[in-house]
Amino acid sequence: MGYYDDHGRTGRNSNGPKKSGYFLASLAGLIVGAAITVFAVSNIADEDGQETTKSPVKTESVSLDVTTDVTKAVDEVKNAVVGITNIQSGNFWQGGEAQPAGTGSGVIYKKAGGKAFIVTNNHVVEGAEKLEVSLADGTKVPAKLSGSDIWTDLAVIEIDGKKVTDVAEFGDSDALKIGEPVMAIGNPLGLEFSGSVTQGIVSGLERTIPVDINGDGAIDWQAEVLQTDAAINPGNSGGALVNISGQVVGINSMKIAQQAVEGIGLSIPINYAMPIIDSLEKYGKVKRPSMGVQLRNVNEIPAYHQQQTLKLPEGVTDGAMIEQVLPESPASKANLQELDVIVQLDDQEVNDVLELRKYMYTNKEVGDKMEVTFYREGKKETVTVVLTTEGVM
């Protein structure tokens, strides 16, 4: 065995040195190869599967300072997102003592007059006897409800501003584009997961979601929302939807949870929410226009009564029927009566109570004049009402 050619040798003197050199090189190669093999085997394992020697390779922990647009955006707003605990009286078995009834999230948007103001969802604070806010550093402070609005699912609460260090900046939700990156920040599944961040994109703009306000199974309102695939779970309600600049562009409100649906989170656009927030902070409620009537959908009334009681013309099967007119209301002053069927407001056709409410709440303010077109005893008439805040509609 060797690295020389045994058949090329012709004499001792002429080939001696060449043979010696190749032999020494061969021997050295064998020794080095054996040493490498022994070293490798000794570092794998013994017959019992135990490592026999420690690897001579040195290791060290590496710390990376990762800063991205996402981490910058989160840093901008994370300390302004808080946890909210809804405290209500316990039942008999709990001794009637106040107990946490639920938790949610909120966003500090303003500091003024020694107070800090927080926007959240109406359903987060609904029914609360006491409210407690958990700041980003874990500090818990009592809170007071400034006002809430069931129609938009928004509420404003206030706390002492001494320990508040960060206030969120509102962005422009009208400038959002489908596919734009956003982050949801809040407290999913309770305060144990406070300050959780999920990332996604804007999946849809100007979505409308039917809402049953009073739980009677009928649709009372259609919420205007943004759609995102950033995960929004119970406890995220009231938290912030943030753009890549760290600005709040939405208040997270709800999540569609159906067996075949995943990744559809909904958020109230901040441009839509801002006037509501301002009104709740100043007045404790949203001052919406009203005619002072109670209404019912015509399409819920049997065809017999549509023809015989309401005396609607053939082909008129939609509209909003007046069930009651409140005394001294705008409707009463305009001579609207029970069983009148409203089919148009100004130049907007009205097919049901939802459309009527949507038009008034979106296009009209207290003190505005509005033309109301209706059927009475089969005849079409129009009157003008001056809207106030009285009544239910």
Q: Could you list the active site residues?
A: 123, 153, 237
3-state helix, strand, coil in the chain (%, to 5): 25, 35, 40
Q: Residue 41 belongs to what H/E stretch? A: helix 12-42
HEC profile of 185-214:
EECCCCHHHCCEEEEEEEEEEEEEEEECCC
Angle at 344 between CA 341 and CA 346, to 5 degrees: 140
Lookup result for tokens 């190749």: 22
Q: Are 368 and 346 in contact (CB under 8 A)?
A: no
User: Which of helix, strand or coil describes residue 261?
Assistant: coil
- Grouping H, G, I as helix, E, B as strand and the rest as coil, residue 9 is coil
Could you give phi then psi for residue 374, rounded to 5 degrees? -150, 165
Q: Which pair of structure tokens corresponds to residue 277? A: 């927030």
Structure tokens at 265: 């989170």
Question: What is the distance between the alpha carbons of residues 343 and 376, in angstroms, rounded to a whole number?
Answer: 11
Q: How far apart are CA 91 and CA 68, in angstroms?
A: 49
DSSP 290-342: B-SEEEEEGGGS-HHHHHHTS-PPTT---SEEEEEE-TTSHHHHTT--TT-EE
The DSSP element (H or E) to which 162 belongs, if any, is none
Evaluated on CA atoms 299, 303, 306, 309, the torsion sign reads: negative
| Pairwise CA distance, residues 113 & 93, whole Å | 42
Residue type at 294 in one-letter notation: Q
Structure tokens that stand for 79 in this block: 């300390």
Secondary structure class of 155 (helix, strand, coil): strand
| Structure tokens belonging to residue 166 | 């960060």
